[in-house]
Copies of this chain bind each other. A is one copy, B any other.
Amino acid sequence: MTVIMRGKDVANRLREEVIEEVKSLQSEGIKPTAAIVRVGDLSDSVGYERSAVNVLKKANLEVETFYFPEETPETQFLSEFEKINNNTSIHGILLLRPLPDHIDIEKVKMIIDPAKDIDGMSPYNIGKVLEPQENDFVPCTPAAVMQTLRHYEIDLQGKDVAVVGHSLVVGRPLSMLLASEDATVSLCHIHTKDMKGICQNADIIVTATGAIGLITGDHVKEGAVVVDVGTTYDENGKLHGDVRFDEVEGKAAYLTPVPGGIGAVTTTILAERVVIAAKKQMHSKDARFSEVR
């Protein structure tokens, strides 16, 4: 029998913890507040903004949204962004991506205060994936995978893990998070000679490629744990993962569905981080170095 790992269950538990923390911070006079910053009207970011606002508010967090027209010049945007960054009543910042081409995302990554960077885009926070500590703001989707594995008490030490897809946002940082828990990680991708062989040997498969149905029943060892991070829409607007769910269900011990898997956890991680950010900044006026000074 396959246990279906539902993101909603992971997210609900996490949200309850966040709500408790918000209550406790409010009793100290602090209102944990997130800023959501959007430039332009790309449908992807509009949709993500709506869902992020929804999740943050359900966790009783304050949300301020900042909108800049598509044509905002780079210097003006950066200067406005710095104001948001320096605003002490804002604890966490989510910048929606992609940005328009004329605004260099690398500049924003260097400016954003690592202590407010709940989405894990600052190089400071990305570097933390090599030696993650409990309250680090490592990239969100890999963090959601780790949170899901923890929720289902999946042991990682010494386990053979195939990570399929070596993207910057998922595969690479995730492989480091898994290695730091002493899993044996094989990071596969489009150039890998024998991806199927590596998967067949794996105790845990995490796939994040965007290739619909890439992972078949034949890739999966009996009793393995399969986490599907893929989210791809087909021509009919239907959402698919990387895994052929019907082939893997019954064979795997644990399996995430798409939709209803990791995606639901990611935004709740953002909510948790607003609370962590508020705590980090509580006793410090200079948030940038609040951890070290």
Q: Please encode chain A, from 108 to 122, with 1 for each CB lying within 8 Å of some chain B CB and 0 for all others.
A: 001100100000001
Per-residue B-contact encoding for A26-49, CB less than 8 Å = 1, 0 else: 000000000000000000000000
Contact across chains for B187 and A185 when beta carbons are under 8 A apart: yes
Q: Which of B129, B172, B184, B291 contacts A179 (CB 8 A)?
A: B172
- In the bound complex, how far is the Cα of B168 from the Cα of A129, in angstroms? 10
A182 CB contacts on chain B under 8 angstroms: 166, 189-191
The residue in chain B whose Cβ has the minimal distance to the Cβ of A126 is B127
Of A110, A128, A130, most buried by chain B (CB within 10 Å of CB) is: A130
Give the CA-CA distance A128 to B125 in the complex, in Å. 11
Is A20 positioned at the interface, with any CB of B under 8 Å from its CB?
no
**Residues of B contacting A168 with CB < 8 Å?**
130-131
A100 and B130 alpha carbons, distance in the complex (Å):
23
The reply to whether A107 and B293 form a contact with Cβ atoms under 8 Å apart is yes
- Interface status of A292 (Cβ within 8 A of chain B): yes
A191's partner among B126, B130, B184 (CB-CB below 8 A) is B184
Which positions 176-192 of chain A face chain B at CB distance < 8 Å?
176, 179-180, 182-192
User: Nearest Cβ in chain B — how far from A19, in angstroms?
Assistant: 31
A222-244: which residues lie under 8 A (CB-CB) from chain B? none
The reply to whether B291 and A110 contact each other, CB–CB distance below 8 Å, is yes
Cβ 8 A contact of A123, one of B124, B176, B193: B124
Query: In whole angstroms, what is the CA distance A189 to B180 when docked?
Result: 11
Q: How far is the CB of A207 from chain B (nearest CB, A)?
A: 15
How many A residues are at the interface, by size bracket?
35 or more
Chain multiplicity (copies) = 2
A184 near B184 (CB under 8 angstroms)? no
Is A158 engaged at the interface, CB distance under 8 Å to the other chain?
Answer: yes
Q: Compute how far the CA of A182 lies from the CA of B195 in the bound complex, rounded to whole angstroms.
A: 13
Do A292 and B107 touch (CB < 8 A)? yes
- Shortest distance from the beta carbon of A274 to any chain B beta carbon, whole Å: 22
Q: Is A106 an interface residue (CB 8 A)?
A: yes
**Interface flag for A21 (CB, 8 Å):** no
Residue interface mask A49-86, B partner, CB < 8 A = 1: 00000000000000000000000000000000000000
- Beta-carbon contact of B192 and A158 below 8 Å: yes
What is the 8 Å Cβ interface bit string for chain A, positions 92-116, against chain B (1 contact, 0 not)? 0000000000001011001100100
Chosen A-B contacts, 20 in total, with CB atoms closer than 8 Å, are: A110-B289, A114-B123, A123-B125, A123-B128, A124-B127, A126-B127, A127-B127, A158-B192, A160-B194, A166-B179, A175-B176, A175-B179, A175-B187, A182-B191, A183-B191, A184-B187, A184-B189, A184-B198, A185-B186, A186-B187
Given contact pairs A172-B179, A175-B185, A179-B189, enumerate 4 new A-B contacts (beta carbons under 8 Å): A158-B191, A160-B194, A176-B176, A184-B198
9 closest A-B pairs by CB: A127-B127, A123-B127, A126-B127, A158-B191, A186-B186, A184-B192, A182-B191, A123-B124, A110-B292
